[in-house]
Amino acid sequence: MNAIVTGASRGIGRGIAKDLSKTHKVIATYLGSLEQAESLKAETGCEIFRCDIGNPTDRAALINFARGVFPEGLDLLVNNAGIAPRERLDILQATEQSFDELINTNLKGPHFLTQLAANWMLEKGSGRIVFVSSISAFTASINRAEYCVSKAGVSMSRLVYAQRLAPEGIQVFEIQPGIIRTDMISKVEKVYDEKIAGGLLPQRRMGEPSDIANVVRSIADGHLDYCAGQVIHADGGFHIRSL
């Protein structure tokens, strides 16, 4: 079995790539630290490939590389790569530059990488595609609106691809992680810990990358193949509304 995991050198993506490497040949993409990517390769045997997911040339190069590594085809694409705003600004001061950067990386990138991967999967009539979005797809944060908008767009991308590809034997899913202990939240980790202890989450703990990897594992192993287009909340119960 063959898989591509984007944004896999750290955080959630690294956890996913480490778990999948137990059963799959994995191409793990990275953009920032080559050292982190090489340590993942040394630990797991994953192939690594530098890819700016927001760049169409890089996306095409990734698929061309994968075709060489996986002559028998692609079984799983995990769209995990994403970025947070460089600076958290109130929506009334946030810039178009930041908006464009996040839309390009978090939404346009995975949307069109999925197009390339789906057309490849159609050649053998099977495959699975995962979009890793966020609770920010349905939760408003006025100091990072561009992030929320990008993740809400990912939800619709999942829906349209799921509808188009399910008849072709390709299943599409979305995982919405909650507050996960990664370097993306390192600056506000203490604040989140306090909120969780105060009751923000029904399950009184922060999530770990392994929690998301476990959901991807269920998808990769085919346990959710009759759940086309499903959203999976991996958020400790954050999505539950209560009075």
In the prediction, which pLDDT does 130 show? 98
Beta bridge partners of 171: 128
Environment class of 52 (CB within 10 Å of its CB; exposed 0-12, middle 13-18, buried 19+)? middle
Query: Among this protein's residues, is 161 annotated catalytic?
Result: no
Cβ count within 10 A of residue 185: 16
In the prediction, which pLDDT does 47 show? 97
In the prediction, which pLDDT does 43 show? 96
In the prediction, which pLDDT does 186 show? 73
How far apart are the C-alpha atoms of 215 and 212, rounded to whole Å?
A: 5
Do 86 and 100 form a contact (C-beta atoms < 8 A)? no
Beta bridge partners of 129: 77, 172
Cβ count within 10 A of residue 184: 15
In the prediction, which pLDDT does 242 show? 86
In the prediction, which pLDDT does 216 show? 98
Q: Give, for 231, the enclosing helix (H) or strand (E).
A: strand 231-234
Supply angle C-alpha 60, 122, 47, rounded to 5.
Answer: 45
Choosing from 30, 147, 161, 192, which is the catalytic residue? Answer: 147
Residues of the chain with pLDDT under 50: none
pTM for the full model?
0.95
Do 37 and 48 form a contact (C-beta atoms < 8 A)? yes
CA distances to 13, 14, 15, 131, 213 from 144, rounded to whole Å, are 22, 24, 25, 20, 26
What domains lie within the chain, and their CATH numbers?
2-234 (3.40.50.720)
In the prediction, which pLDDT does 185 show? 77
How far apart are the C-alpha atoms of 199 and 89, rounded to whole Å?
A: 26
